[in-house]
Chain A
Amino acid sequence: MRAEAAGYDGQTAQYRDIGVSVARVVVDVMLKPEILDPQGRAVQGALGRIGLTGVVDVRQGKQFVIDIDGEVDDDVLAQLHEIAANLLCNPVIENYEMSVDVTGGPAPVGEHQGTFVGASSDAVAHANEGQQ
């Protein structure tokens, strides 16, 4: 899912080429495990029908890719968590995970893909701290 997010890269890479620092925030929203996901269940059924065996469960979620001009400091991060927790996800039925790529400078798409995944691990840890 994370690697796929790098597919949105074109615009961000362009910003970087002209020296503007852009941070990319990715928020994944999933239904809580105890909430029935009829869409996931329908997909699971389809997977079986087209011959993929052994599928135990499918859950369908959403991904938000947010590009921010400028630095993502603690204040912005807190704001992002507030938005992720209360607007992008409905805490009654959904959970979210947030990752932030705070690396600046030019980043071609290929390179960025690696940067994104690598850089996100620290950011994810940080984001999760904020979540608790």
Chain B
Amino acid sequence: MSARIGVVTFPGTLDDQDAARAVRLAGAQPVALWHGDHDLQSVDAVILPGGFSYGDYLRCGAISARSPIMTEVITAAGHGVPVLGICNGFQILCEAHLLPGALTRNESLHFVCRDQTLRIENNRTAWTNAFESDQLITVPLKNGEGNYVADEATLDQLEDEGRVVFRYVDVNPNGSRRDIAGICNASGNVVGLMPHPEHAVEELTGPSTDGLQLIASAIAALAGGGVLA
């Protein structure tokens, strides 16, 4: 039986359909989850997709992080369920304190949309074990508030513990500290990144199909193996 991967829709989510499509193309079964429910429908993994939930009101992801479904996601994450936050999903993970730090306004003040090269800095997480270490991948990036910040002690800790998972290569599109594009929690099951792997799953529409490997990683992790100790 194929892995069941939930994709949460919040009010203002944009990329849930693309995320579900990526899950399907990678060989897993997408399950639609609703922000207002306290029910994860027994999924094996969860994706928080991109968009502008609650219109980015208050702060990006701040209101969604307090939604009913997030109570369940936080509990599940604590039990080791793989959780991936993409763009607004990454912001929600930070606001929910599943990941440290915060995403702030791009240094340039411009909304940036480009094909972005990333380096896989940690290929032992639930979402990156199908990559080679230091592998370069190219996926679309589109954000206005992707400038990752945390205090120096937190940044040092992330680096020391190998929890910087994706780093921008060539161009830092948003002023992110230490070129950080994505990070994970201490046990490697919760991963968040600003770029959009779910838009890089088909040759016709994406700059690569590198995004499929994130889903493949989760499938492999669920099958038993590859997750950071």
**Which residues in A have some Cβ–Cβ distance to B below 8 Å?**
31, 35-36, 38-39, 42, 87-88, 90, 92-93
Find out whether the CB atom of B149 lies under 8 angstroms from the CB atom of A38: no
Separation of A36 and B150 alpha carbons in the complex (Å): 12
Whether B106 contacts A90 by the Cβ 8 Å rule is no
A38 engages B109 (CB within 8 Å): yes
Given contacts A36-B175, A90-B95, contact A42 B109 (CB under 8 A): yes
Tell whether, in the assembled complex, residue B105 and residue A39 are in contact, meaning their CB atoms are under 8 Å apart. Answer: yes
Q: B107 contacts A90, CB within 8 Å?
A: no
Complex interface: chain A residues within 8 A of B94 (CB): 92
Interface: B104 (CB within 8 A): yes
Q: In the docked arrangement, what's the CA distance between A31 and B145, Å? A: 15
CB distance from B146 to the nearest CB of A (A): 12
Q: Contacts A92-B101, A92-B102, A92-B149; is A36 near B62 (CB within 8 Å)?
A: no
In the bound complex, CA of A39 to CA of B62 (Å): 19
In the complex, what's the smallest C-beta–C-beta distance from A47 to chain B, in angstroms? 16
Question: Within 8 Å CB of A87, what residues of B?
Answer: 58, 62, 66
Q: How far is the CA of A38 from the CA of B94 in the complex (A)?
A: 20
B21 at the interface (CB under 8 A from A): no
> How would residues 81 to 104 of chain B score, 1 for a CB under 8 Å from any chain A CB and 0 otherwise?
000000000000011000011101
Q: From residue B180, how far is it (CB to closest CB) to chain A in Å?
A: 14
Q: Is B135 an interface residue (CB 8 A)?
A: no
Looking at chain B, what size class is its interface with the partner chain?
Answer: 20 to 34
Inter-chain contact B108/A35, CB cutoff 8 Å: no
What CA separation (Å) do A87 and B58 show in the bound complex?
A: 9
Residues of B contacting A: mostly: loop
Q: Does B59 belong to the interface (CB within 8 Å)?
A: yes
Residues on B with C-beta less than 8 A from A90 are 59, 62, 95, 102
Known: A87-B62, A90-B59. A38 touches B106 (CB 8 A): yes
Q: B153 to chain A: closest CB distance in Å?
A: 12
Jot down 20 A-B pairs with beta carbons below 8 A, ordered by A: A31-B104, A35-B149, A36-B175, A38-B105, A38-B106, A38-B107, A38-B108, A38-B109, A39-B105, A39-B109, A42-B109, A87-B62, A88-B58, A90-B59, A90-B102, A92-B102, A92-B149, A92-B150, A93-B102, A93-B104
Q: How far is the CA of A36 from the CA of B176 in the complex (A)?
A: 11
Pick the most buried of A39, A87, A90, A93: most chain B CB atoms within 10 A of its CB.
A90
Question: A62 → chain B, closest Cβ, in Å?
Answer: 8
Q: Within 8 Å CB of A42, what residues of B? A: 109
Q: Shortest CB–CB separation between residue A108 and chain B, in angstroms?
A: 32
> Which B46-95 residues have C-beta < 8 A from chain A?
58-59, 62, 66, 94-95
